[in-house]
Structure 1
Amino acid sequence: MSYTRIAQARLSLDDPHNCTDVNDTLTVLEALYDALVRRGETEGFAPGLASAWEVADKGRSWLFHLREGVRFHDGSPLDAGAVIASLARMARPDMGVTLGAPGVYSQYLTGANFEAPTPSSVRIVLAEPMADLLDLLVYGYIVAPSVLDDPLARPCGTGPYIFERAGDGYFRARANPDHFGGPPAHEGIEWRRVSAAKDRLAALEGGDTEVANTLPFGVEPTGATAQTYLSPTTIIYLFNAAAGPLRDGRIRRALNLALDRDALIADVLGGAGAALHGFLSPAHSGYVAEGQPAPRPDEARALLREAGVERGLMLDVDCPTSLPNEAEALTAAIAAQLASFGVVLNVKIHEDREAYAHRVRRSEIADMCVFDSSPLSTFRVLCEKIDSRVQGSWWLGYANPAVERLIDSARVMIDDAARAEIFRECHQLLSDDPPWLFVYNHLRRVALRGAHPDWRTRRDGVLDVRSLPRFGASTDG
């Protein structure tokens, strides 16, 4: 069998009902599984296992009409019972684990009723409305009931590729000729773990792989088509707004106005980033593109004087050694910038990234900490990190009643354009009264062997094997 080869930095087969934003993991999951809906190519959502859906009761009741004739890779039929079994597992408080913190999905699905009006339809009735439910269900992968107790033992979904085997540093899947989207373009896919970006580039240029993800920035690979895409995961510093000097919104705003993000991107990332001036990236609903502030040092100093700390301020900062991998270099560069404003950063380094995430989840941080915000759902970002009434896993004492009123409005606003306008209002309010230090988004590079001028990366940055063009000759297994 011929396999199209994909070289990527990480290779792991995760539980399909855990919560991940890792591109290299999602490209595998999306090949093996389908969800009720998929992200649209440019905006909104497209049919997945559901051919159509209806929403009622201001986003509390959702009815999904399933495609007819779909079968899992083990031959069993897709029906309402199978869908409900996966959704119920996804909703469990011990699932939806990210960096050791479970229950990401259960906070939205706890108390929901999953009903089967017919064998080919599923109704979800939420405990409280969520107009952004589809933004959650794109990750609601439907797993064959035969393996639901342990989907890692033998992955089995309805996706365009069928699991074959995994070995040391590779993972293989063959085409599903009966997929509802039509037969895939490739006989098989082989993902390979190639840890160093320079080695992925060499493998692409040497003909050892057809696709290479996360390549060195600024390098044009020979004999390949490369694209730059923006990772929607925002790199930020969470402020401790519950205790210490960063309870004062004037200081939080001053730090954001003092920061020269373009200089940070040049010095720390070698240009491989896009400046972040609010809580949303350009990929998010509600992003405001106009009027983004450049560094405004005079305003920053005026705010520090008004807050009574113009003579100097020391902030304790928690910093991991990975995720982002440049966290130490970034923190040093920010410290150098803020020194001219009389702000001194006292940095504590944490080597265990999962333990670090648990510390943040327990609010055991100093004045600020290096972190990221990964959900592409604007509502999830607001709910999990900013709403003081929810006090989610990554909430650190911030409260803004005006934003919370807008969150309530967005929760029941099922019109996408109107909801996006609400999120734009949130974006402006949170730029004026920032809960975090906004830094940047990464720019990533992906390349395909040969000339493919019409190929485009997906808007969420995930390498979608369904969209890969044909490459001609590939490896034989």
Structure 2
Amino acid sequence: MKLDSLKVAQSSINIGDPHICSDSLNRNSLISAIYEPLIERKGPGVFYPSLARSWSIESNGLTWGFKLREGVSFHNGDKFSSADVVASLKRIVDPSIGGAFGTQGVYASYIGGARFEAPRKDTVKITTAEPMADLLDLLSEMPFAPKDELDKISREYIGTGPYYVGSKTRGEIVLERNRDHWGKSAFVDQVSVIEERKSKIRSEMVLERDVNIGAFIDYNDTEAHRKSEKTLLYSLKSSLCIIFMMNALNGPCSDQRIRQALNYGLDVDEVIKKVKIGQATRLNGYLTPHHFGSNPQTEPYPYDPERAKTLLREAGYDTGLKLTIDLPTEMPDEALLLGEMMKEYYGKIGIDIDLVSYRDRPAYAEMVRDKRIHDLCCFDSSPLSTFRVLREKIHSKHKGPWWEGYSNSEVDGMIDQAQRTFDDKKREELYRQIFQKIRDDAPWVFLYRPTYFWALSRELADWKPTSTGLLSLAE
């Protein structure tokens, strides 16, 4: 990249506490520039060294050893050591840290009972309470800070990353090149990230050359860039799953036939065409190709209203059925439109739909977490970790935060088996079998993964975000 500096416009620059579990791409783009994990996820099931230069797992399947990279310093000059890793890990699993949109206690549910040790300055040992073959998936999400600065971590962002925080105001955060970084080369000397909530204005800022990158531009705001000789567009099929989770604890959706009927009875291709203007890709199950163990051989549910009607009759609803769908007004922003289309399509197969909307998104997330939904609820499944999705939304024994009553003892057993399977190829095959079974059981109405757009100045012809949608600022 030939530029000395970059200006980026995105809808939020709020970092908050970096140890809080969140899948916000805006937030995680900033965190990944400032902080680093022990290991870095490079693709589905693919991990590279970061602050840890190597790792191993003992034969008991419980104890992991990590050799840390030498010569690494934090932005404040403190030397990075195993004591910092242990201190951060203990804080990350502390239930008092809280969460975002119902994620409090998520990491504690996995490794809250683990033992973290620092036998040497360059060595960390993690001993989990149970075998956890996908531990690297979790660790790739966890940033590390100096042990003596943890009490200030939600205000002062001190990491080891390729950029440090030069300044922060209410509407802008300025990142400066870390010239003492151990490895990665920052693309530019300075990155100014500006908060602008409206997509249309972010788009105009690129057109007017006020910024170089406009992140997550709505498709409706991309046309000017298609015609412009000054700007470019980059698009990416995302890892975000837009779904409707069903109440399988009680009510009609506890019956597999009803759940399947709701999938057969909705023309998802037409939903994508009308609601997303074609800018989304249909899901064939509960994951995307960005996820480890997604099964490309699995067929999506076809639109088959007659099959849906047959399933409803078999379930005893030949004279009609009434369901209530919960909808947030944001995240996803199109939830109300989706609800209206579902009401229309389900009416054609004899299902009368009531729609209930909720403006308070954090409260909506807590309602879903507390399993107080009606029959269906609109949600977005955002974790990149297949292991997390299965534990938090599918496994009936764990009853995770976003589990809504689905139960299949065979699926539970296969998830448990995968957790104990350290051979990546064998675990991936197990996940692919699980993928097919979950598709067939239909605990969710599987909709789509949206396409994301970035508006770019022409100088960034060679730039692209990471494969999962984060700002790429170093390599």
TM range (shorter): over 0.9
Q: Are 2:313 and 1:305 equivalent residues in the alignment?
A: yes
- Would the alpha carbon gap of residues 315 and 57 (structure 1) be closer, same or farther in structure 2, given more than 3 Å must change? farther
Equivalent-residue separation in structure 1 for 2:47 and 2:468 (angstroms):
12
Aligned with 1:105 (options 101, 104, 107): 107
CA distance in 2, matches of 1:250, 1:444: 34
Is 1:224 the equivalent of 2:231? yes
Q: Which residue of 1 aligns with 2:126?
A: 124
Residue 423 of structure 1: CA displacement?
0.8
3-state SS in 2 of match to 1:371: strand
Q: Distance in 2 between matches of 1:165 and 1:258?
A: 53
SS of equivalent to 2:474: helix
RMSD over equivalenced CA pairs, Å? 1.7
State the alpha-carbon separation in 2 of the partners of residues 200 and 435 from structure 1: 37
The offset of 1:216, in angstroms, is 3.0
Question: For residues 359-370 of structure 1, what are the structure 2 equivalents within 5 Å?
Answer: 359-370=367-378
Report if the CA contact (8 A) 1:239-1:437 is conserved: yes
- Once the two structures are overlaid, the 10-residue window that deviates more, 448-457 or 144-153, is 448-457
What CA deviation, in whole Å up to 9, does each residue of 1:174-231 have, x standing for no partner? 1100111244121111100122222111111221111111123253453233221122
Please say if residues 44 and 292 of structure 2, whose CA atoms lie closer than 8 Å, have aligned partners that are also in contact.
Answer: no
**Structure 2 Cα separation of the partners of residues 255 and 277 of structure 1:** 15
Match of 1:470 in 2: none
The one-letter code sitting in structure 1 at the alignment partner of 2:239 is P
Asked whether the 8 Å contact 2:21–2:103 carries over to 1, the reply is no
**CA displacement, residues 69-106 of structure 1 (integer Å, 9 cap, x when unaligned):** 00001101001101111111111122361214410100
SS at match of 1:103: coil
Ranges in structure 1 where 5+ consecutive residues have no aligned partner:
468-477
Residue 248 of structure 1: which of 244, 250, 255 is its match? 255
* Residue deviations 1:245-288 (CA, integer Å, cap 9, x gap): 11111000111112211111111111121111311112111112
Specify the alignment match of 2:243 in structure 1: 236
SS across alignment from 1:148: helix
TM-score (norm 1): 0.94
Correspondence for 1:194: 196
Q: 1:172 aligns with which of 171, 174, 191?
A: 174
In the TM superposition, what whole-angstrom CA distance separates every residue of 1:342-377 from its partner, at most 9, and x where no partner exists?
111111111111111111111111111111211111
Where do 1:330-369 residues align within 5 Å? 330-369=338-377
* Pairs within 5 Å for 1:268-279: 268-279=275-286
**Could you tell me which residue of structure 2 aligns to residue 431 of structure 1?**
439
Matches within 5 A, 1:78-477: 78-95=80-97, 97-217=99-219, 219=223, 220-221=225-226, 222=228, 223-290=230-297, 291-450=299-458, 452=460, 454-467=462-475
State the shift of 1:408 in Å: 0.9
2 CA distance for matches of 1:255 and 1:278? Answer: 14
Which stretch shifts more, 435-444 or 295-304?
A: 295-304
* 8 A contact 2:102–2:369 mirrored in 1: no
**Aligned AA (1:375):** P
Letter in 1 for 2:289: P
1-structure distance, mates of 2:335, 2:45: 32
Deviation at 1:14, TM superposition (A): 2.1
CA distance in 2, matches of 1:356, 1:193: 25
* CA–CA distance in structure 2, aligned partners of residues 388 and 216 of structure 1: 37
Structure 2 unmatched runs, 5+: none
Q: Deviation per CA, 1:5-40: give whole Å up to 9, x if none.
A: 111112212211111111111111111101101111
Q: Distance in 1 between matches of 2:266 and 2:395?
A: 25
Q: Percent identity?
A: 37
Partner-residue secondary structure (3-state), 2:253: helix
Counterpart contact for 2:464–2:472, Cα < 8 Å:
no
Q: 1:7 & 1:151 partners in 2: Cα distance?
A: 24
Q: Which amino acid aligns with 2:473?
A: V
Which one of 8, 11, 14 corresponds to residue 9 of structure 1?
11
Write the deviation string for residues 100-119 of structure 1: whole angstroms up to 9, x where unpaired. Answer: 44101000111101112321
TM superposition score normalised by structure 2? 0.95
Determine the structure 1 residue equivalent to 2:52.
50
Distance 1:364 1:225 in 2: 45
Change (3 A) 1:256 1:130: same
Shift of 1:452: 4.9
CA distance 1:124–1:164, change in 2 (3 Å): same
SS at match of 1:466: coil
For the residue of structure 1 that corresponds to 2:319, the secondary structure is: coil
Equivalent-residue separation in structure 2 for 1:231 and 1:310 (angstroms): 39
Q: Aligned partners of 1:37, 1:444: CA distance in 2, in Å? A: 26
Equivalent residue for 1:73? 75
Which whole-Å CA distance do the structure 2 matches of 1:100 and 1:129 have between them? 26
Task: Decide whether the 8 Å contact of 1:18 with 1:95 is kept in 2.
Answer: yes
Aligned residues of 1:251 and 1:303 also touching (Cα < 8 A): yes
Mark the CA change 1:380 to 1:205 in structure 2 (over 3 Å): closer, same or farther: same
Give distance in 2, aligned partners of 1:305 and 1:383: 33
Matched to 1:348, the amino acid is: V
Q: Give SS of 1:431's match.
A: helix
> Can you list the C-alpha shifts for 1:121-162, whole angstroms capped at 9, x where unaligned?
101110111111111111110012232012122110101111
Residue 413 of structure 1, CA deviation: 1.1
**Count of aligned pairs between the two proteins:** 467
Quote how far apart the aligned CAs of 1:48 are: 0.8
Where 2:387 maps in the other structure, the secondary structure is helix
Structure 2 Cα separation of the partners of residues 358 and 138 of structure 1: 26
Alpha-carbon distance in 1 for matches of 2:187, 2:377: 45
Q: Matched residues in 1 for 2:82 and 2:22: separation?
A: 26
